[in-house]
Amino acid sequence: MVEPKHKITGPDTWGLSGPVTENSQKNIQGDSYLVAGTDGVGTKLKLAFETGIHETIGIDLVAMSVNDIVTSGAKPLFFLDYFATSRLDVDLAEKVIKGIVDGCQQSDCTLLGGETAEMPDFYADGEYDLSGFAVGIVKKDSVIDGKNIDAGDALIGLPSSGVHSNGFSLVRRVLARSGLSLMDKLPGEGITLGEALMAPTVIYVKQVLDLISKGGVKGIAHITGGGFTDNIPRVFPKGLGAVIYNSSWDVPTVFKWIQEAGRIEDAEMRRTFNMGIGMVLIVTGEASHRLLEDGHYKAFRIGEVVRGKGVSYN
């Protein structure tokens, strides 16, 4: 990774710059596709404002885009960000930048630059908005597109760090109804609710690319908004669905608290949250045994592909 040069030069030009690497330039050939993704972190920003935890929100920002593009087998090349605020607070901006730099390092991509917009009277004092943009590259003959997925293939789940960056509108409603504050302890845990909810999104890039290189990966689903219910079927060819094995992985305490405090039905939890699984790989039976026996990565066999449609649970 080319280390970005830090510079905050004023209200219109917040830049973190560094050229695309020479190797990246050489790899952009006719036998490859460029893959792009863009996203934000949603209303998780509200919790950042309330907790004062700004150092990791940039990791979330990078994660949401690079985790999307790696599902096609693409290696992230570079990332850009957009930071909008009422009036630039340099100290706060540097905390956010630190997280973005960290996220790019975790995904081994270059932070090319960014834009800061000062918009007085549009945002409340001390608040800001973020969006990010990632571009990656994949060889045309190495694209992961799910076209050869078949019944009997295994669903391998990679654990999440918690809520990641989706479902926070519901989280905030549950928090308000619970009577607890972000400074209260998460029941049964030694951390506060704020710390549990602000845990940064896992960046799966290096792990997923390594698993792809070992063969047998047919499809990948990033479990974001829509949970298992909406995200997994998007990967399948027509006529296929999935069965998820209940209790086949450890559901983090934070989800159990959300469900109990909010009195939320199972179906809504599965459609809104990742429930402890942030990425699902659809792999051959042989690859599933190799991956689970390897022990290099924590992973769970959470289900299988079946004839039909949608996602069912048993």
Dump pLDDT digits (tens) for 10-38. 222 233 333 333 333 334 558 999 999 99
Q: Residue 79 belongs to what H/E stretch?
A: strand 75-85
CA–CA distance, 215 with 45 (Å, rounded to integer): 38
Where is average pLDDT lowest: 23-27, 88-92, 186-190, 195-199?
23-27
Burial class (CB in 10 A: 0-12, 13-18, 19+), 115: middle
34-65: pLDDT as tens digits: 999 999 999 999 999 999 999 999 999 999 99
> Can you name the CATH fold of 5-140?
60s Ribosomal Protein L30; Chain: A; (3.30.1330)
Tell whether the model's pLDDT for residue 1 goes beyond 70. Answer: no
Percent of the chain with pLDDT over 90: 87
**pLDDT value at residue 29:** 55
CATH 3.90.650.10, the chain: domain bounds? 154-165+200-255+265-313
Three-state DSSP at 136 gives: strand
CATH number of 154-165+200-255+265-313: 3.90.650.10
Q: Say what the pLDDT of residue 262 is.
A: 96
Among residues 303, 231, 227, the alpha carbon closest in space to that of 266 is found at 227
Domain with CATH 3.30.1330.10 in the chain: 5-140
The whole-angstrom separation of Cα 77 and Cα 107 is: 9
State both tokens at 107.
């995904």
Q: What mean pLDDT do residues 285-314 have? A: 93
List C-alpha distances in Å: 284 to 222, 277, 291.
18, 19, 10
Q: pLDDT tens digits, residue range 115-158? A: 999 999 899 998 999 999 999 999 999 999 999 999 999 999 99
| pLDDT tens digits, one per residue of 271-294 | 999 999 999 999 999 999 999 988
